[in-house]
Amino acid sequence: MKFGGTSMAGTERIRRVANIVRRHQEAGHEVAVVVSAMAGETDRLVNFCREANPLYDPAEYDVVVASGEQVTAGLLALTLQAMGCKARSWLGWQLPIHTDDAYAKARIGTIDADNLAASMAAGEIAVIPGFQGLSEANRITTLGRGGSDTSAVAVAAAVKADRCDIYTDVDGVYTTDPRIVAKAKKLKYVTYEEMLELASVGSKVLQTRSVSLAMKEGVRVQVLSSFIDDDAPLADTIPGTMIVSDEELEGLDMESQLITGIAADKNEAKVTLTRVADRPGAVAAIFGPLADANINVDMIIQNIAKDKGETDVTFTVTQADLVRAQALLEGRKDAIGYYRMLTDPKVAKISVVGVGMRSHAGVAADMFKALADRGINIQAISTSEIKVSVLIDADETELAVRVLHTAYGLDAAA
């Protein structure tokens, strides 16, 4: 069972969580619980790091931001004990949850689950802070924002859990963020692949890595709400959204929909290098060093060379990486040989996702038309087999999502 930030926000919320955990244990389950920091806490800690040093060392950043989950893990164990349950916390370094040493966005390697399994089998509820692990160099790591989902799936895989229930503040996965579009529809099922695309393009209901890990390890994942009555049906009745394989979905005989969901991501920033030499190796000179610095690049456009044998290169990085990317590219200005660097953090990426795209042409064309009809300008485009993404002005995010939700016939009946 995993509980997110709003579910853990304060003593009263934690008591509700403890009650949900207790009811599932009493129903005969052995439970491990993964918790997030209280809502807003990680943002607060990130801000302290930025204030202390804008070009912060990610390893020290991890020491600071991992602390939020330590607090809620201890508090949940205490609350469970107050209810008469046996419970104890297991911090990331105590299990340990091994990760690589990509601080601030570490990947989980292996988890030593022996202690955990023994404690669970003895009727003790294991409470594990999400988001944190231990690097090969014996330092605390964190898994990237929203990483507690990934901790939960990794723990579920390690103890071979029947299911990984991700409790949050909405009662499932919707066709788009229900907080932005009131007409969003709840999905009973969504495939791993679609969920992976949706998460990677901004549906932050699940962290992307948690979905790829679940897919790889075959973990059964349900997304459901922790904001429920004390006598609400147990999670075994599947009140939320189940993530299923393609084969499982076919067996369910669902009405097939061209587009499954729409997502928006305001966390990217656009970088343009003007007048880059149009010759072999020029682009490698830009993206090689970014990759070496662990900076992920998403959308890339290289314009047609102008007559002088020069070309503008535009790409996006996460806003969190923008300062580092700028510093790195400034330092290599001569080596790369560009004229100016322009940056714009006020952009949003809007994506439509659906496996139906494989067998249907025209999804992208419909998207461009619907946006054009509302005067929304497209700054960059990228596609995959089951996704089309466009980059637009951040101010037009909500409008674009609503327009597309209606255009693809996803609006719930009033």
Binding site for ligand ASP (CB under 6 A): 4-5, 36-37, 42, 68, 130-131, 145-149
**Under rule CB under 6 A, residue 36 binds ligand ADP:** yes
Q: Residues 4-23 vs Mg ion: string with x where CB under 5 A?
A: x-------------------
Q: Which residue from 191, 203, 208, 260 is in contact with ligand ADP, where contact means CB under 6 A?
A: 203
With CB cut-offs between 5 and 8 Å by kind, which of Mg ion, ligand ASP, ligand ADP, none does residue 68 bind? ligand ASP
Residue 197 CB, nearest approach to ligand ADP (Å): 12
Q: Which residue from 173, 235, 352, 400 is in contact with ligand ADP, where contact means CB under 6 A?
A: 173
Q: Kindly identify the residues of this chain, within the stretch 245-264, that bind ligand ADP according to CB under 6 A.
A: 261
With CB cut-offs between 5 and 8 Å by kind, which of Mg ion, ligand ADP, ligand ASP, none does residue 169 bind? ligand ADP
Q: Kindly identify the residues of this chain, within the stretch 144-163, that bind Mg ion according to CB under 5 A.
A: 146
**Under rule CB under 6 A, residue 5 binds ligand ADP:** yes
Q: Give the chain's radius of gyration (CA, Å).
A: 23
With CB cut-offs between 5 and 8 Å by kind, which of Mg ion, ligand ASP, ligand ADP, none does residue 220 bind? none
Nearer to ligand ASP, 146 or 240 (CB): 146
Residue whose CB is nearest to Mg ion in the complex, by number: 146
Residue 240 CB, nearest approach to ligand ADP (Å): 10
Q: Which residue from 44, 50, 160, 179 is in contact with ligand ADP, where contact means CB under 6 A?
A: 179
- Contact positions vs ligand ADP (CB under 6 A): 4-7, 36, 146, 168-170, 173-174, 176-179, 203-205, 261
Chain residues in the site for Mg ion (CB under 5 A):
4, 146
